[in-house]
Amino acid sequence: MIGLFDTGHGGLTIYQALAKHLPQRNFIYFGDHANAPYGTKPASEILELTKSAIEMLFNRGCPLVVLACNTATAVALRQLQQNWLPNSVHKNKRVLGIIVPTVEVATSTHDDASETLVVFGTQRTIESGVYEVEIHKRNPQAKVIPQTCAQLAGAIENGASEGELEQLVSEAVRECLQKTDGKAPQRALLGCTHFPIVEHLFKKHLPTSTQILSQGAAVADRLIDYLKRHPEFAQNENKQTDLFLTSGDALRVKADAKRFLGVFLPFEKCP
């Protein structure tokens, strides 16, 4: 069983990709809607919330948990992997993030080593600099444009109107293009799992030549490879109904998932 954690329903974009590419695996998804968004919270609070969510998923039978959240990955993953997990009762379990898989796919398919990539993310993700570090590890010549979208994830979670969401996206794109002197970046990474929900708005405002990279597909591709290399987490399972948990209002979360993703998901309130 694989656990997935996000601050809200943005991580469902990752779940959809994983469920499509790993149809025989069982998933438990937990959205911490009661505390969303994480993007403007202090790093110490993000760390504690993320650790609590992971422990809950471990205790529900998930030996492997994927942080389907860029902010939690950027701020908390390294500390959890290096300092907490090896010294805990869960030391034989694993926590994976989604930033490195995204960057691996983005940098393995580039045609121009000196290409420009823009990364749209939350305040904490951009401040961490993790995308720039990981991209330059694999392609030192790439020009990385970090672009904060401080309010966008929260607006999506709070059910903002299409017009309000479009205004936030257009402002972020405008600021990004000011940094490039109006030149179109070759690629755009949506560095928040909420942002694919409004990918159509990014497409509308970014130059037509800019390629938007799909984080869900990248994470699925790399997770399949990880499971091949770590058969202890690739055990055969009897496929059951996936479980969806929330710390928030289950009725509202169901409605939001239906509105944004077009599917009904039976969210339950997590005790």
pLDDT of residue 247: 97
Q: Which of 69, 149, 176, 270 is catalytic?
A: 69
Global pTM reads 0.90
Task: Over range 241-262, report the average pLDDT.
Answer: 91
User: For the domain bounded by 100-214, which CATH number is listed?
Assistant: 3.40.50.1860
pLDDT digits (tens, 9 = 90+) for 59-111: 999 999 999 999 999 999 999 999 999 999 999 999 999 999 999 988 886 56
pLDDT band at 40 (very low <50, low <70, confident <90, very high): confident
Residues of each domain in the chain carrying CATH 3.40.50.1860: 2-97+217-269, 100-214
Tell me the β-bridge partners of 187: 117, 211
Amino acid at 163: G
For every residue of the chain, DSSP letters joined together read -EEEEESSSTTHHHHHHHHHH-TTS-EEEEE-GGG---TTS-HHHHHHHHHHHHHHHHHTT-SEEEE--HHHHHHHHHHIIIIIGGGSTTTTSEEE-SHHHHHHHHHHS-S-TT-EEEEEE-HHHHHHTHHHHHHHHH-TT-EEEEEE-TTHHHHHHTT--HHHHHHHHHHHHHHHHHHTTTPPPSEEEEESTTGGGGHHHHHHHS-TTPEEE-HHHHHHHHHHHHHHH-GGG---------EEEESS-HHHHHHHHHHHHSS---EEE--
The answer to whether residue 49 scores a pLDDT higher than 70 is yes
Task: Over range 124-138, report the average pLDDT.
Answer: 94
Active site residue 176: no
The answer to whether residue 228 scores a pLDDT higher than 70 is yes
User: For the domain bounded by 2-97+217-269, which CATH number is listed?
Assistant: 3.40.50.1860
Q: Which of 62, 149, 192, 270 is catalytic?
A: 192
Active site residue 192: yes
